[in-house]
A and B are shown apart, each in its own frame.
Chain A
Amino acid sequence: MDIDEQYDRIYRYCLHKLGSPAQAEDVTQETFLRWLSAAGYREEGRALGYLYTVARNLCADQYRRQKAEPLPEDLAAPDGEPGVLDRLALAQALAALTDQERDLVLMRYMNEAPVGAVAAALGISRFAVYRRTAAALDKLRTLLREDGP
């Protein structure tokens, strides 16, 4: 497993969920530290399952501490060119998804994590991952079309 690459992906996942770069960094680093202390979970598939499980739980802990949803405005200005889709519209559309739908879009679609890892992290079957990811993406695209120009 390319730790350097996975760090970036887990960080982006956390940043989408938490809105704060500092918090995303803390959660990402804590996630990797826990992975290293855990016995086992060395093979890539199992490692990713563990990492996403822990990252998801730690993000949930952060929510509880904050007691508020992160506002889209909290997202720091990204470097690089803006995509075709308006960043704000994207953030609002994501916020309109359920937790699980959002996780599926970020883990499975954006980060291209293996099905087994996502299934393990969310506690659902692999088949459910396929089915619900497709549904979540449809919902997301619909929301974007409604908001979009």
Chain B
Amino acid sequence: MNDDLRDALRAAVPGPDKARKRAFLRSLPPAPVSHGRFLLSQAAYVRPVTWMVSLAVLVLALAAGRLAPGDAVWVTAALTPFAALAAVTEGARSTLYGMEELELASRFSLRSVVLARMGAVGLAHLALVCVLAALGGGSFFRAGVYFLTPYLLTDLLGLAAVRRVRGREGLYLCGGAAVLTAGLALALHGVRGVYDPAGFRWWLLALALVLVLTGQEYLKTIRKTEELS
């Protein structure tokens, strides 16, 4: 009886004239859509792999902190490049899978897609670095710098690579950059005094340089999403 009555009420009156309804709806300005909702929906399209890699970095770094506290700092510095690799790969998917043209012509264009995805992953990674720095045991700020610098270095090399080299090759280059940066962290750990407070100002210098260059790479990447290339 319940649904019968509802169906009867609906069936008792006909629907609107389809042609006039369509003409009316098309005459309206596009319905306002919240950008926030779009960002969230794009974040949902970030591949599980990306989150898993980030989680793996977290877990491994924490494990190093437990099992080999003396080496935890350089191990973490060698791990964060792989989180950066995941981030850059995520941002490059539109180009890699040939979705650019379709996304560029959509209401929320390619630029929003890339910004949303990289933004979501970037925020998560920022949180990741903060967590690792907080649990590092030493100074939060110094640890943060030690972990962020290799991350951003990989980021900037990776973005430059995928921007210049199309397709899978660009991503392989990006992978190479991650491995190189990790290797650098590995090689450096043997050098005396690298992680000592005395040498910290070199790290700050490096971070400042890398920040500026990474910022530039992001700007170039975003600008590239304005049209098909």
- Contact check, A90 vs B9: say whether CB atoms are below 8 A apart: yes
Residue of B nearest to A15 (CB): B13
B185-224 CB contacts (< 8 Å) to partner A: none
**Contact residues on B (Cβ < 8 Å of other chain), bracket:** 20 to 34
Identify A85's interface contact among B4, B25, B28, CB under 8 A: B4
Q: Which residues of B contact A144 (CB under 8 A)?
A: 5
State how many angstroms separate the Cβ of B228 from the closest Cβ of chain A: 31
Near B by CB (< 8 A), chain A positions 75-101 give 75-85, 87, 90-91
Contact with A along B1-33 (1 / 0, CB 8 A): 100111111111111110011001100110110
Contact of B16 among A7, A83, A87, A90 (CB under 8 A): A7
Once bound together, how far apart are the Cα atoms of A24 and B24, in whole Å? Answer: 14
Contact of A83 among B12, B15, B24, B32 (CB under 8 A): B12
Does the CB pair A110–B11 fall under 8 Å? no
Confirm or deny: B34 has a beta carbon within 8 angstroms of a beta carbon on chain A. yes
The CA of A43 and the CA of B137, in the complex, are separated in Å by 45
Given known A-B contacts A42-B34, A141-B5, A16 and B25 have beta carbons under 8 A apart: no
A81 to B25: give the CA distance in the assembly, Å. Answer: 28
Given contacts A29-B24, A110-B6, contact A8 B16 (CB under 8 A): yes
CB A89 to nearest CB in B, in angstroms, measures 10
Residues of B within 8 A of A (CB): 1, 4-17, 20-21, 24-25, 28-29, 31-32, 34
Taking A25-B20, A36-B29, A77-B14 as known contacts, 7 extra A-B pairs with beta carbons closer than 8 A to each other, sorted by chain A number, are A32-B28, A76-B13, A81-B11, A83-B8, A85-B8, A109-B6, A141-B5
15 A-B residue pairings within 8 Å (CB atoms) = A1-B31, A3-B25, A11-B21, A15-B13, A28-B16, A29-B24, A33-B28, A36-B28, A78-B12, A80-B11, A85-B4, A85-B5, A90-B12, A106-B9, A141-B5
Residues of chain A touching chain B, judged by Cβ–Cβ distance below 8 Å, are: 1, 3-4, 7-8, 11-12, 15-16, 21, 24-25, 28-29, 32-33, 36, 42, 75-85, 87, 90-91, 105-106, 109-110, 137, 140-141, 144
